[in-house]
């Protein structure tokens, strides 16, 4: 049976109405080769995404999946393992009958497994025999230390050369490097043996409808784009918080921490989509070039600013919904005196004409009391003068919030007059939900991304210069911490994070959005 962590991770990933994923032709036939086929990412994200794509009729009859791992197994055992995870998830919630059996059987019949050492050339020779001259997508669902060796072996085996009329692509999960130097070295090593358009550096945040809708919201609505600049926006808050802890990833987190894990990739991608200029088309390179310009324009922090404008936190033992939770230092594979941060908040500026003087506040962390990812655009206040001689004491802040998870949508907060003979103002909110308005089904966020890989659309994937610009922006922080580590502030599990993060905004006369 699937363990509890896997079942929780599968929550809200199986589409209730797969038709909402459709509206496009099936992707061309290809074999998806998953390195790390028996791993957690395959079970909780890739397989549910393939199931959803199958139910939406977005996969070609010639589609196939080859799982590669050193774990002992064969086709039958791998199919059984993947089926068990999905059915266990549904049964645990009383929804066993909701599984579209035809859609899952369609995927399951196309699953094959290859047991092999990822560093043994014989493994790649065996893969080559199975692929012959067809199209293939190599998905690196493995530890980052295997990224470069796997790509080297694929190149040596001739598996990256694209046969006539067919494609060969590689999907790389994060972390893509651990600092600027390692990211540059990895890019150089990859691009020696393959072209940039064959590389898909994946960030599942960009598979969320709301993230993709940022461009549509900004650039297709005349009421928003004229206001989307320093003249009208006071500041921007970008939040990505989780109720879960590090769970079984203690060893990874000890060497990574929240800054490396989330900021150069997830958080900066959200920032780039929010702050980018309008591209001249939806062509992949046009969009990615504008995103790269934003990240390159992030103002580098001095050593003093890195210590003053960045807050590090680490969760201590606490409670959430009546459950006692261990502190980070009590988690498996974590040092009892660890200083790895599980929370980070920072203040950044963007040095370009549109955003000069507008602060961007970013926070991300684990074991908070609410799971929430959102972007909040705080508009400048209207003048108070008109209301000086009325009972109105303050004006309601105007905030456009883009909700990314757990629910996807947008809301706009503004003032309205409270009914009655006197002028009283009250806050009101207009709310839009994808599920309510479009009947959008649940998904992993990987459906769109996998489909785009299969059709060769790079728009939602990071280019080498984007990756390196992200690391360049956080490198001064890493350097400052290496020189003077600074304090890692504790916060109780099940709370909003360290109080020092509140002070980061309070000193500017601002406050974080409430976590509800």
Where helices occur in 342-498 by DSSP H, the ranges are 434-438, 446-455, 464-483
Higher pLDDT, 277 or 211: 277
Q: Which CATH class is domain 4-173?
A: alpha beta
- Residue 7 binned pLDDT confidence (cut-offs 50, 70, 90): very low
The domain ranges of the chain are 4-173, 206-383+458-506
C-alpha dihedral, 66 to 67 to 71 to 75, nearest 10°:
-50
**Given the structure tokens 């309008």, which residue do they identify?**
278
Q: Cα 258 vs. chain centroid, distance in angstroms?
A: 13
Q: Is the pLDDT of residue 10 over 50?
A: no
Give the tens place of pLDDT for each residue, 121-148. 999 999 999 998 899 999 999 999 999 9
3-state helix, strand, coil in the chain (%, to 5): 40, 20, 40
| CA-closest candidate to residue 248, choices 82, 507, 9 | 9
Q: Is the pLDDT of residue 12 over 50?
A: no
pLDDT of amino acid 141 = 95
Q: Is the pLDDT of residue 198 over 70?
A: yes
pLDDT of amino acid 405 = 85
| CA-closest candidate to residue 98, choices 10, 22, 214 | 10
Give the tens place of pLDDT for each residue, 347-406. 999 999 999 999 999 999 999 999 999 999 999 987 766 777 777 667 778 999 999 888
- Residue 92 binned pLDDT confidence (cut-offs 50, 70, 90): low
Mean pLDDT over residues 493-509, rounded? 97
Give the tens place of pLDDT for each residue, 278-287. 999 888 899 8
Mean pLDDT over residues 415-430, rounded? 80
Rg (CA), the chain: 24
Q: Is the pLDDT of residue 247 over 90?
A: no
Higher pLDDT, 381 or 469: 469
- Asked if 401 and 516 touch (Cβ cutoff 8 Å), the reply is no
- Residue 33 binned pLDDT confidence (cut-offs 50, 70, 90): very high
Cβ burial of 239 (10 Å; 0-12, 13-18, 19+) is: buried
Quote the tokens at residue 207: 């598979």
Q: Is the pLDDT of residue 448 over 80?
A: yes
Mean pLDDT over residues 14-25, rounded? 58
pLDDT of amino acid 208 = 64
Q: Which fold has domain 206-383+458-506?
A: Dihydrodipicolinate Reductase; domain 2 (3.30.360)
Summary count for the chain: helices (H), strands (E) = 18, 17
The Cα–Cα gap between 57 and 100 comes to 12
Quote the tokens at residue 429: 């909110």
Mean pLDDT over residues 56-81, rounded? 95
Where helices occur in 276-322 by DSSP H, the ranges are 284-296, 303-308
| CA-closest candidate to residue 272, choices 196, 206, 335 | 206
Active site residues: 266
The three-class DSSP label of residue 240 is strand
The three-class DSSP label of residue 286 is helix
| CA-closest candidate to residue 432, choices 396, 398, 397, 401 | 401
Determine how β-strand 489-492 pairs with β-strand 310-316. Answer: parallel
Mean pLDDT over residues 260-276, rounded? 94
pLDDT of amino acid 5 = 45
């Amino acid at each position: 049976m699937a363990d509890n962590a896997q079942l929780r991770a599968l929550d809200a990933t199986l589409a209730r109405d797969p038709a909402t994923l459709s509206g496009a032709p099936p992707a061309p036939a290809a074999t998806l080769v998953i390195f790390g086929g028996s791993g957690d990412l395959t079970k909780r994200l890739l397989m549910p995404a393939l199931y959803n794509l199958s139910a939406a009729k977005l996969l070609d009859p010639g589609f196939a999946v080859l799982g590669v791992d050193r774990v002992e197994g064969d086709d039958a055992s791998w199919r059984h393992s993947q089926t068990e995870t999905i059915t266990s998830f549904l049964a645990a919630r009383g929804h066993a009958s909701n599984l579209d059996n035809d859609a899952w059987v369609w995927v399951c019949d196309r699953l094959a497994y290859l047991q092999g050492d990822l560093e043994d050339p014989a493994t790649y020779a065996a893969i080559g025999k199975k692929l012959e001259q067809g199209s293939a997508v190599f998905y690196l669902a493995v530890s980052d230390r295997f990224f470069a060796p796997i790509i080297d072996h694929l190149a040596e085996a001739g598996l990256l050369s694209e046969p006539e009329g067919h494609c060969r692509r590689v999907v790389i999960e994060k972390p893509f490097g651990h600092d600027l130097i390692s990211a540059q070295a990895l890019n150089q090593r990859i691009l020696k043996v393959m072209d940039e358009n064959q590389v898909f550096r994946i960030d599942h945040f960009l598979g969320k409808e709301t993230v993709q809708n940022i461009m549509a919201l900004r650039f297709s609505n005349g009421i928003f784009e004229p206001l989307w600049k320093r003249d009208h926006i006071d500041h921007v808050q970008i939040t990505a918080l989780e109720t879960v802890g590090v769970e079984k990833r203690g060893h990874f987190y000890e060497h990574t921490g929240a800054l490396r894990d989330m900021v150069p990739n997830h958080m900066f991608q959200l920032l780039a989509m929010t702050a980018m200029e309008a591209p001249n088309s939806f062509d992949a390179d046009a969009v990615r070039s504008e995103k790269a310009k934003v990240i390159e324009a992030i103002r580098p922090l001095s050593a003093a600013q890195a210590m003053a404008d960045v807050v590090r936190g680490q969760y201590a033992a606490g409670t959430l919904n009546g459950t006692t939770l261990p502190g980070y230092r009590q988690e498996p594979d974590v040092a009892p005196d660890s200083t790895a941060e599980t929370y980070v908040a920072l203040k950044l500026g963007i040095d370009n004409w549109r955003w000069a003087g507008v602060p961007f506040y970013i926070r991300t962390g684990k074991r908070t009391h609410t799971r929430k990812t959102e972007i909040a655009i705080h508009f400048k206040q209207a003048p108070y003068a008109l209301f000086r001689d009325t009972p109105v004491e303050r004006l309601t802040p105007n905030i456009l919030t883009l909700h990314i998870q757990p629910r996807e949508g947008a809301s706009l907060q503004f003032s309205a007059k409270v009914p009655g003979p006197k002028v009283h103002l009250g806050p009101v909110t207009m709310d839009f939900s994808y599920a309510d308005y479009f009947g959008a089904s649940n998904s992993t966020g990987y459906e769109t991304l996998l489909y785009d890989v299969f059709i060769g659309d790079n728009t939602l994937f990071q280019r080498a210069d984007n990756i390196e610009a992200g690391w360049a922006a956080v490198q001064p922080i890493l350097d400052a911490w290496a020189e003077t580590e600074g304090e890692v502030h504790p916060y109780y599990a099940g709370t909003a994070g360290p109080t020092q993060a509140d002070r980061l905004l309070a000193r500017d006369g601002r406050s974080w959005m409430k976590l509800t």
